[in-house]
Each structure stands twice: as C-alpha cells, then as structure tokens.
Amino acid sequence: MSYAPRLSRRRFLQAGGLGLLGLTLTERSWTQAPQEKPLPPRAAPDSIDGPPLVSCRAWAIADGKSGRVLWGAHENEPLVMASTTKIMTAWLVLRLLAEHPKVLDETVVISAAAAKVGGSSARIRAGDRYRAGDLLYGLLLPSGNDAAHAFAEHFGPRYRNGKEATPPVAAFVAGMNRQAGLLKMAQTRYFDPHGLGKNHTSAANLCTLAHTVMQNAEFRRYVQTRRHRCDVTDAKGQTRSVVWNNTNKLLDIEGYDGIKTGTTTAAGFCLVASGRRNNDHLLAVVLGATSNDSRYLDTRNLFRWAWRQRGHKT
C-alpha cells in the first residue's frame, strides 16, 4: 500500500504549499464571500387615490377658461423647457398683429446663421424668402429651431425697447423675458428663441402662457394644424414646395387641439397640451418625461383623470 508522506507545516510551505494542492493565491478559495447589503424595506402600497402615476418630473393641469392651475406635482419647480420655448416665440410674432395687421404677410429672408441652427428643423435654406405667416407653421409644426432664429432676426429690432444697439436676436429674447414678466411667470427665463440652450420654466408657468396664447384665434389655428404645405422662393428665384407635419401626436386623437412639444437631452420629453370635452377645456403640461411615448401616455392619463374629477362620465 502506497501513501503520501506527511509533511510538516515548515516543509509544506518550503515545497510550494498551495501549489501542491493545485491552488493559487488568486483563487482565494478559503476566503469568506463578501457580505451582501441588506435589502431596503418595502415601500407602502400604491394609493388608489389621487392622480395616475407618471414618468415625468413635473406636471400641471389648469382650467382652460380661467388659466387657474387645478392640480400638479412639482409644478413650481424650474426645469429646462426645450422647444416649448417656441410658444413664446410665436406669441411675440402674433402680438404684433394688434398694431401691424400685415405682419404675417411680411417676407422673412433666411440668413446663413438661421439656416445653420441645429436640432429640430423646418429645413429652411440661406436665401429662402418666406411669408411670415407660412414660416410660423415651420416654427410650430416641425418645431424648427432654424425658423425660431429667423423670426428673432427679423422681428428683433421691434423689441429693442429703446436700446438701438442691441443685436436683433438679443432684443427678441429680451422681449420674450419682458412678456414672461408681464404674465408673472416667475420661474421662467429665456436665453434663446428656440430652446436648445438653458431656457427654463415651470409646469405652472407654462399653464399660464398656454392659457394666454390659446385665447388668440390665430395661435389656435396654427397649433391645431396637423400638416401644412407652402411654396418658398429660394436665393436663385426658384420655387419649391415645402411640407411640414406637426410633432404633436395628440392631434391624431379627437378632442385635443394643441399646443407644443419639446425635446432635448437636458429637458427630456415635454408637452403642453390642450384638451376639450363637451364645453369643458383643460390645459396640461408635462415636463421631463422619460420617452416620446411616455409623454403622451402621461398626458392622456392626466387628462382622463382630470375629466373624471370634473364629472365627465365618458
């Protein structure tokens, strides 16, 4: 009978110890597994009361007739607003109609700077000549950042407020901020006319602005339009046809009639919406939803819940 000689601890280590057993120091077969962190306690059960659960960072619902905010969550928190900025951009153009009824018939010539603005685009080109009324569709339907810059350049001089040296775009943005001040939108600040930068607002402030602009028939006509086609003359005098589709997918559902989407990495997916049921009118704002689909799901769920609170059965 054969047997392996028994080694003393000293001779075991001299002979390579662990190597004789086929083990290496890196295998650490003899160490204790790391201790797992304890699981957190379970949260309380979901409440069956209150508005539906949503993915967005903030929301608000307002009465469409009075503009008063009825319900909300984090509705006064300043958040990045993305292209919901263009509600105010369009409003500054349309406000000029009161004193200059031919404003929408003016010709807006597209500069190279406007044509180069990135992000969502109306596909305008340097040298293009647009009727202002048509270009507003390019601003509000495909959410053209290029169109927003073009409007700021064209109408900025009318908002210089006595400061003639102010560049047109800066003057226009200053006009946006003055209008926000007049509407007591305390959480709102504009730095550009399109929303690519750090413009911020709150859901409650956007309800205030939405209520104001939706009193205007021209504004309502623009934001409820699903598609617009127009002709444009380019720098060479040639004409081409342009078609713009509205980014607001709620318009595909009866009962919704505006008003504006907004999307950037910083802002998430945003939506300002107008809904009508019988003679009732509500405005809803969703800021910072997690996806394109979730902003519409959040908004529709909030409307459905709000309609029930208002006594609507179907």
Beta bridge partners of residue 108, listed in sequence order: 130
Residue 60, CB-side half-sphere exposure with 13 Å CA sphere = 24
**From CA 107, how far away is CA 96, in angstroms rounded?**
15
Quote the CA–CA distance of 238 and 19 in Å, as a whole number.
Answer: 85
Q: Rounded distance, CA 173 to CA 194, Å?
A: 10
**CA–CA separation, 306 and 61 (whole Å):** 8
Strands 239-245 and 227-233: antiparallel
Here the tokens at position 268 are 């998430």
Reported as type and span, the H/E element at residue 182 is: helix 168-182
Is 143 catalytic? The answer is yes
Nearest residue to 292 (alpha-carbon basis) of 261, 313, 314, 266: 261
Sign of the CA dihedral running 197, 199, 200, 201: negative
In the beta sheet, which residues pair with residue 61? 71, 284
Amino acid letter for position 55: S
The catalytic residue among 111, 120, 143, 202 is 143
83 belongs to the catalytic site: yes
CA distance 259 to 274: 6
Three-state DSSP at 126 gives coil
Residue from 215, 217, 272 nearest 247 by CA: 272
121 has catalytic annotation? no
Contact 263, 243 (CB under 8 A): no
Inter-residue contact 94 to 300 (CB < 8 Å): no
Q: What positions carry a catalytic annotation?
A: 83, 86, 143
